[in-house]
Amino acid sequence: MNAVKKIVICGDSTAASYNPEESLLVGWGQLLDCFLPERVKVLNRAMAGRSTKSFLAEGRLSAAETELCPGDLLLVQFAHNDWNEKPERHTEPWGDYRENLKIYIETARRHGAVPVLLTPICMRVWEAGKLRPTHGEYPEAMRETAEEEGVPLIDLYAESFRIVSEMGEEKSKDLYTHLKPGEDPRLPDGAEDDAHTRFAGAERFARFTAEQLKTAGLV
């Protein structure tokens, strides 16, 4: 059994942790430790609104790497904000996005840690009764980077797309932040958020991530 004791997460709002008293949002990284052995400590450094580019520019990877020890895991999930047109966030999928991912990979390896790439959770966008693909070429760019670099990949995009498709247009709202006005005091006007998960969605994707880590012999 792998003796990993610590997992550090770098990512965006879909992985981030939130105060339950202030927000209905729950990122998958917030619940990951619920599905791992007690000996494994999870440090969730994901931050809303960040891309591979802005996370690096703000020194967040530099801060996270001080927490890495040999044998630890560095989980990396970005794409939601990399396709944002803001210059401080935007990257090209086959260009600086891939180059930035390699920086995360090299940083983990430099400290004797194991990098793991995770494709983004799909957005819940339905058109004419079918779930529409999202995130453009970023998931495939990450897959190719993982293969080229010999890095473990957890394909959360493919899994989330499968789950949301099978649940259907209405039932899949239960995974994301969809609320009617007055349903929750934290969002009195309701919400129609097809990018961010509530507890049910975060739990589903955190469990899948933990299962994939176990299957790969990483925890």
**Hey, which residues are catalytic here?**
13, 192, 196
Q: What dihedral do alpha carbons 216, 26, 93, 139 form, nearest 10°? A: 40
Query: What tokens appear for 76 in the block?
Result: 């990396």
What is the Cα gyration radius of the chain? 17
CB 4 within 8 A of CB 73: yes
How many residues make up the chain in this entry?
A: 219
By the 10 Å C-beta count (0-12 exposed, 13-18 middle, 19+ buried), 2 is classed as: middle
